[in-house]
Chain A
């Protein structure tokens, strides 16, 4: 790190005091640069999220329904909201279901995405371009549109899926497992492009010399992947996995629209849907705020591993 000229000693003659003052101001100016640089971001985020965050926390301790919303004031009830949620078996079942759902989604996304990246390496150049363009096409479809297409493809009357599988009029939305499987398929399908393209870029970083050296030594492709490729990919995989956990845990649009509000009930809620229905559709905003805070804490716990690594990356510098 570039170092500044050493500070003159305190016992210097008065003649250098002006120079010293200029140096001090310059130092303060230089020290304030990073703060000035992050100020716009803090300002943008703070002015918009400051009040809502404060509001969310304070609402969670209040009784705040539609009536209170219109009156613009609620009743303080301490931790009652949290109490009633934590005592509700639906909350715990939903949490368990969401954790399993998240593990399944993140697992499938990462495994399939990485596998597809490895495939990209192996295929001919023309096919690589076609696949990349295809992945980009998938990535560019907005979630609301993707839900419509998938519903259309899986509906029991004339969906393509039933036709191709010869499954007659099978209703894919009849059981919870089936519903969440279709939702998983949709989410994984939409998430793969991001993972594949990122991992592929990472694979391009693996030095060819290392791979060649390993194969000359007699290592099979699995060994090569485990010993050479994987360690280099690890940071990317870490970032992608953690992002996926955060996004998949709180997912709302796909399950809500694909399963449909007519089919949603306590046996197939996911956390994102649960907070919407219990808090906002039923206009119990205090309870909704409490559930939101709980979700924030839970997802923070689930991803603390990544957060620590992020913060540690700072210190390594």
Chain B
């Protein structure tokens, strides 16, 4: 009958389509053993990709297996990781930002690599600040991969015209900034472009004055932004910002990116990762230099936020092959190559004093290693505090007090 024929045709068409897709999608099923690596897209860049390729080749030589590298986006890789943790098919190696590690280590997302620590190159001279992010409860879960520090990228021609030299103290940096403002202060020009809510930079002041964000006292977290020293640091930041930055007081360091501002000729200098010199605009590359952020104490480097990544092996993954790949990618040769393209390698044994980012890493600070720290970042507690301070909505003391209490309650939440 016509009706039944129609319905039958419909279902057959459906089935045919299903098979068509399935058949069309089957690739060469006969594969040798293969592992999946999740690296961030930073490693996909033209100057970085060869290092990854070399590691893959080394890995294949060592184990006979192939490495399938899938590049990830910073904004979405954790959501994807959560899905694979729930449903299976976790990658065999995953790159994690150093601030992302603690939460996942505490939840048991990674395999314990402590026993094999000695098999990784330079493990005895790993950069302390970075290596700490891969340890939890005395066990090793993440192998340090690379680090980044913050330096000042500046216009040598503008400095020359204003008759100023590289400053060696914060006070000198401030007067230098004001000299630049006097000479070049047109609309939108910042002697030192700092985004108002750039907490990575602002907290450097806090640590420079001897304060901190939070500390662990008998098992419980206590906020430390409301201590005298922290408040002194925050006040110094406020004064510095008001003196030398014309950026919006509520904007962050991603909107816009400081090097975009620099490329427009609207910044005498910017503070940020050392690799900024790549992206400051064709017309200014020749007149760009860098120096370390000076402390309020003359001659010292202000402690800088040590960014970076670790490599971990998730649960459910192939541990021996995963470790083998990490071994190849963090080998001495590989780390040396990473250093060559502007990163800080994971070992002090490769440190070269001529490299400014490594000099800057001599004094560094890190976020509290609490499993809930990521929530403090997600709720933008520090950014809001800085915005309130800079817009004078609250006094430094009030804003710091509120933030401190907030941070403590979040860190102590179970």
Contacts and interface: CB of A to CB of B under 8 A. Distances in A.
Interface of A: 33, 36-37, 40, 65-67, 69-72, 151, 155-158, 168-169, 171, 173-174, 260-266, 277, 280-283
B250 A173 contact: yes
B379 A266 contact: yes
Given A155-B255, A280-B79, A283-B82, A171 B379 contact: no
Nearest to A55: B86
Contacts of A168: 187
Contacts of A280: 79, 82
B379 A265 contact: yes
Contacts of B251: 156, 171, 173-174
Given A169-B188, A263-B255, 7 more contacts: A69-B107, A70-B85, A70-B107, A174-B249, A261-B75, A263-B383, A282-B374
Interface residues of B, number: 40
B108 interface: yes
A177 to B, nearest CB: 13
A159 B12 CA distance: 55
Given A66-B103, A151-B255, A264 B380 contact: yes
B248 to A, nearest CB: 4
B256 interface: yes
> Would you call the interface of chain A mostly helix, strand, loop, or mixed?
loop
A4 to B, nearest CB: 15
Nearest to A37: B7
Contacts of A173: 250-251, 255
B106 A67 contact: yes
B256 A155 contact: yes
Contact of B380 (A66, A158, A171, A262): A262
B248 A169 contact: yes
Contacts of B107: 65-67, 69-70, 283
Contact of B255 (A37, A69, A262): A262
Given A168-B187, A174-B250, A262 B383 contact: yes
B48 interface: no
A157 B250 contact: no
6 tightest A-B CB contacts, nearest first = A66-B107, A262-B252, A171-B248, A67-B107, A265-B380, A174-B250
15 contacts: A36-B7, A67-B107, A70-B107, A70-B315, A157-B188, A169-B246, A173-B255, A174-B251, A262-B254, A263-B255, A263-B380, A263-B383, A265-B383, A277-B378, A283-B103
B104 interface: yes
A96 B177 CA distance: 45
B312 interface: no
Contacts of B261: 157
B384 interface: yes
A33 B3 contact: yes
B262 to A, nearest CB: 11
Residue in B10, B103, B378 with the greatest tally of chain A CB atoms within 10 Å: B378
B36 to A, nearest CB: 18
A70 B380 contact: no
B248 A174 contact: yes
A262 B188 contact: no
B260 interface: yes
A262 to B, nearest CB: 4
Contacts of A266: 379
Contacts, number: 89
Nearest to B381: A265
Contacts of B250: 171, 173-174, 263
A70 B105 CA distance: 11
Contacts of A69: 82, 85-86, 107
Contacts of B384: 265
Contacts of B7: 36-37
Nearest to A64: B86
A263 B7 CA distance: 54
B256 A40 contact: no
Contacts of B79: 280
B274 interface: no
Given A36-B7, A171-B248, A281-B378, A260 B255 contact: yes
Contacts of A282: 374-375, 378
B14 interface: yes
Nearest to B199: A262
A63 to B, nearest CB: 9
Contacts of A283: 82, 103, 107
B270 interface: no
A69 B108 CA distance: 10
Contact of A263 (B108, B252, B375): B252
A70 B108 contact: yes
A66 B246 CA distance: 42
Nearest to A172: B248
B109 interface: yes
B109 A66 contact: yes
Contacts of B109: 66, 70
Nearest to A171: B248
A151 B108 CA distance: 39
A266 B11 CA distance: 50
B266 interface: yes
Contacts of B34: none
Contact of A260 (B82, B188, B248, B252): B252
A58 B75 CA distance: 28
Interface in B346-385: 374-375, 378-380, 383-384
Nearest to B108: A70
A42 B379 CA distance: 40
Contacts of A40: 10-11, 14
Nearest to A174: B250
Contacts of A157: 188, 256, 260-261, 264, 266
Residue in B11, B261, B266, B379 with the greatest tally of chain A CB atoms within 10 Å: B379
Interface string B108-132: 1100000000000000000000000
Contact of A66 (B75, B82, B187): B82
A173 B79 CA distance: 26
